[in-house]
Amino acid sequence: MTACPPALLFALLRHLSDGRVHSGVALATGFGVSRATVSNLLGQARAMGLAVHAVRGVGYRLPDAPVWLDAEAVRHALAPEAAGLVLQVRDCVDSTNRRLMADAGAAHGQVLVTEWQPEGRGRRGRRWQAPLGSGLTFSLSWRFETGLQTLQGLSLAVGVALARALRGLGVPVSLKWPNDLVARGRKLGGVLIEAEGDMDGTARVVIGVGLDVRLPAAFAATLGQPVTDLVQLGGTADRNRVLAACLSALHSGLAAFGREGFAAVRADWQALDAHAGRAVRLQLPDGGAVDGRACGVDETGALCLAVPGQGVQRFGAGEVSLRTLE
Ligand code: BTN
């Protein structure tokens, strides 16, 4: 589904999220539409990955209603220093990164978060998909007056900020270079950073984050890589709380990065490194591969690999993927 569903769908789902059974007639009357429309909309919600139970002759209920996004709840839970972030919550946006990148006038600290993102973009040209209500998809626009040339290591610093936020919520998160959030060898979330601007003037970045909060098992099985979610890891399903924690940590992490660069968090990144000291295979964009032992990152955020017979080699962010062999 690449188009946004009707706004009424989200209103209906929020109404249904009290855990009770609602009859088709009551829903149709309440929303001023036909029963067929109600049935059709709830069919769309199912196709978007949300469990909707229909009890014949009785009505509908949501067995696992998500905590829907609520701008007030997020603002309330933000750290005081992050109160200046400008929060926009939307039911559906094609891609939060694309939208913020296209908005050249987006404020410093503009946040766009959406319930449904039909054209979510992942790193390396991949798609980012999440069943309705199962995760968090948001982007943050941020300006650096020191130019693009000072942004080396930014993506790793973002990973550190997010890991701090989630650890603060009791979730044992590590990082897989450059900035995948992982736990117990499974991917929990990813970051896509896009940048524009001058090498030594103003640079603007859009930091996009996709995080699994409560992923239906059937969907997880289709992803072709091991994934996990916050709830499996003992974390909260309250997406507003998780979003506020991530935004608060990003706010302070980006401010520190602006003052001190990657040096501010290099040691923290190494402490969170899921592969430190392990034998890994690095797959290069040209199709080649390098085997070695992961030995952290250098001062620019490049991955360091101890390659047998060739000493320590460094690999630049965004050019490689990492696979453990152990
Ligand atoms: C990855 O491939 O691991 C990075 C995924 C990043 C996905 C997020 S979801 C919110 C933001 N908007 C997008 O279109 N992509 C990012």
Listed in sequence order, the residues at least 6 apart from 153 whose beta carbon sits closer than 8 Å to its beta carbon are 257, 261, 262, 266, 297, 299, 300, 301, 317
**Residue with CA nearest ligand 1 atom 15:** 121
Nearest partner of 1 among 34, 67, 50, judged by Cα = 50
121 touches ligand 1 (CB under 6 Å): yes
**97 CB under 6 A from ligand 1?**
yes
Distances (CA, A) of 133 to 8, 18, 205, 215, 304: 16, 15, 26, 9, 38
> Tokens at residue 43, please?
């069919």
Atom of ligand 1 nearest to the CA of 128: 7
- Taking the chain (326 residues) in runs of 10, the rounded mean pLDDT of each run is 89 95 96 97 96 92 96 98 98 98 94 98 91 97 92 96 98 93 95 92 95 94 92 97 98 96 95 92 85 94 94 73 52
pLDDT value of position 1: 60
CB 247, CB 82: distance < 8 Å: yes
pTM of the model: 0.95
